[in-house]
């Protein structure tokens, strides 16, 4: 068995262990809990692609649908050589609970293609993506009311556009065909704010945790994001935007790690400049003014207030957990902390903000995109000008009554109507704030629950259990 298969298996076993631990704190009967726990459908398949004239390669694809308590199911598609069945099952399972925690009406799913995207050109990737989509269509495992994929590690809006176009070609009479996938480009049915959604959700969720004075006191921190020292692992989409929003919120990014190593500057790093440097040089090592850190995982051990692992699973293990100095671990990635490591960290008083809550910003805004595709109208189109005119009329009445006038710049700021991006970010902020306080309240009310992850699992299990009971399958 390869090392990666072992990691995928460990990841899945960790998810199931977290589930069992939380399930024991609920009142559902064992049969219902077993139904909530297991994956409903696992479809693994192999398909040939002619990459060059006369040269054919067979690729492995997989799609897992964990729960159909609500439909459609929802989850990303990974393009990675590390894709394996247990990893995808773990991610699909987490997605069910993630959607439940943030009250998004989807079941969980996940998929992947076993390949390294950098080894193929755009034309080859398009052929691979379209054929993968065709295989899903054959088995009725994709559609706006069935299963709705999204971007994940190694894939992006370009691949989602290919999926949507392929589905539309087969289902030309489906009025809602664009809703078969989310994370699409804006001009092809996407939504503003989707690209940065997961990173922004990480910021909103962590900020809410830092706004609690009582919890911050226990951690030895002052409330608020401003001035907090942050270490970031991963400079992909999620890591980049997490770092960007934390910087804008007044935090100081002192360390950044990628696969080739890490860099450190106690006075702060400019995330956008580091990203640009890495793109130009192929590595973030030797970034001007920063100290190189090798190996990569050593960056996680820097003395900081907030550690944001935004790469892959099992980055913090039983081996390196004792050396972690962060007071808060904000799980931007899925499963970055192993279960054994979590026990060590909790014993040290570290606050772990769990993945099934914290990185749910992506699926939340994907939900908004799906709603947009089904309604066939851009958010803000119906009400923006009406609201703007209403506020303008109020301003005029106040000016007339007081005899004082606003200048044109002030008037535009106050009377501005909400665009799609404003509504999306407002909805995401509300979702993350409400969900955090909901799981924290569960933790505070039940003395048996000592961490936020268990509270989040209990919350999601309760919601799934009620949903299955309402279907009439269980008493």
Which residues are catalytically annotated? 110
Entry field: residues in the chain: 475
Please check whether residue 284 is in contact with residue 269, taking contact to mean a CB–CB distance below 8 angstroms: no
Tell me how far apart the alpha carbons of residues 303 and 326 are, in angstroms, rounded to a whole number: 6
384-402 vs 408-415: helix crossing angle, rounded to 10: 130
Separation between Cα atoms, residue 76 and residue 90, nearest integer Å: 13
Check if the beta carbon of residue 67 is closer than 8 Å to that of residue 473: no
Output phi, psi for 41, to 5 deg: -140, 135
The structure tokens listed for 398 are 């106040």
Q: What is the rounded distance in angstroms from the CA atom of residue 366 to the CA atom of residue 152?
A: 12
Give the separation between CA 359 and CA 76, rounded to whole angstroms: 13
Query: What's the token pair of residue 311?
Result: 């790469």
The sign of the torsion formed by the CA atoms of 182, 183, 187, 192 equals: positive
Cα 6 off chain centre by: 24
Q: Are 332 and 198 in contact (CB under 8 A)?
A: yes
Nearest-5° Cα angle at 393, 389 to 395 = 115
Q: Which two tokens stand for residue 447?
A: 């003395």
Residue 33 contacts residue 87 (beta carbons within 8 Å): no
Instruction: Give the whole-angstrom CA distance, residue 31 versus residue 35.
Output: 6
Query: Hey, is 73 helix, strand or coil?
Result: strand
Q: What share of the chain is helix, strand, coil (3-state, %, to 5)?
A: 50, 15, 35
Count the neighbouring beta carbons within 10 Å of the beta carbon of residue 322. Answer: 12
**Radius of gyration of the chain from its Cα atoms, rounded to whole angstroms:** 23
Going by C-alpha positions, the residue among 78, 84, 180, 173 that lies closest to residue 129 is 78
How far from chain centre, in Å, is Cα 406? Answer: 42
Residue 61 to residue 47: CA distance in whole angstroms: 8
């Amino acid at each position: 068995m390869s090392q990666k298969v072992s990691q995928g298996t460990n990841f899945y076993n960790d998810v199931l262990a977290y589930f069992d631990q939380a399930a024991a704190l609920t009142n559902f009967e064992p049969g219902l809990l077993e139904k909530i726990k297991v994956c409903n459908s696992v479809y693994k398949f192999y398909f040939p692609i002619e990459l060059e004239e006369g040269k054919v390669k067979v690729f492995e694809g997989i799609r897992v649908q964990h729960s159909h308590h609500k439909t459609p199911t929802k989850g990303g598609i990974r393009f990675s050589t590390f894709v394996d069945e247990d990893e995808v099952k773990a991610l699909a399972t987490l997605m069910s609970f993630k959607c439940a925690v943030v009250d998004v009406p989807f079941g969980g799913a996940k998929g992947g293609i076993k390949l390294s995207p950098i080894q193929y050109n755009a034309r080859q990737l398009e052929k691979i993506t379209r054929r993968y989509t065709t295989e899903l269509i054959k088995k009725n495992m994709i559609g706006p009311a069935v299963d709705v994929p999204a971007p994940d590690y190694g894939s992006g809006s370009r691949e989602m556009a290919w999926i949507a176009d392929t589905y539309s070609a087969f289902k030309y009479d489906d009025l809602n065909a664009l809703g078969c996938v989310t994370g699409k480009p804006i001009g092809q049915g996407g939504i503003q704010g989707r690209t940065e959604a997961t990173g922004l959700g990480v910021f909103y969720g962590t900020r809410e945790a830092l706004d609690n004075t009582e919890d911050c006191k226990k951690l030895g921190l002052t409330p608020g994001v401003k001035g907090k020292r942050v270490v970031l692992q991963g400079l992909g989409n999620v890591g980049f935007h997490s770092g960007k929003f934390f910087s804008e919120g007044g935090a100081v990014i002192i360390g950044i790690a990628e696969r080739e190593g890490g860099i450190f500057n106690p006075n702060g790093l400019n995330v956008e400049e580091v990203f640009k440097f890495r793109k130009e040089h192929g590595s973030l090592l030797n970034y001007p003014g920063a100290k190189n850190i090798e190996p990569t995982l050593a960056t996680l051990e820097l003395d900081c207030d907030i550690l944001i692992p935004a790469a892959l699973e099992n980055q913090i293990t039983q081996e390196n957990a004792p050396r972690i100095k962060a007071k808060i671990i904000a799980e931007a990635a899925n499963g970055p902390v192993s279960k054994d490591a979590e026990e060590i960290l909790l014993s040290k008083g570290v606050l772990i903000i769990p993945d099934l809550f914290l990185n749910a910003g992506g699926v939340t805004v994907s939900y908004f995109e799906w709603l947009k595709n089904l309604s066939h109208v851009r958010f803000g189109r119906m009400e923006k000008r009406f609201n703007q005119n209403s506020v303008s009329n109020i301003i005029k009445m106040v000016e007339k009554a007081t005899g004082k006038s606003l200048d044109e710049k002030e008037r535009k700021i106050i009377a501005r109507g909400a665009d799609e991006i404003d509504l999306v970010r407002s909805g995401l902020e509300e979702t993350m704030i409400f969900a955090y306080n909901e799981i924290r309240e569960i933790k505070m009310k039940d003395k048996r629950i000592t961490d936020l992850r268990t509270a989040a699992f209990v919350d999601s299990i309760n919601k799934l259990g009620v949903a299955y009971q309402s279907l009439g399958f269980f008493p």
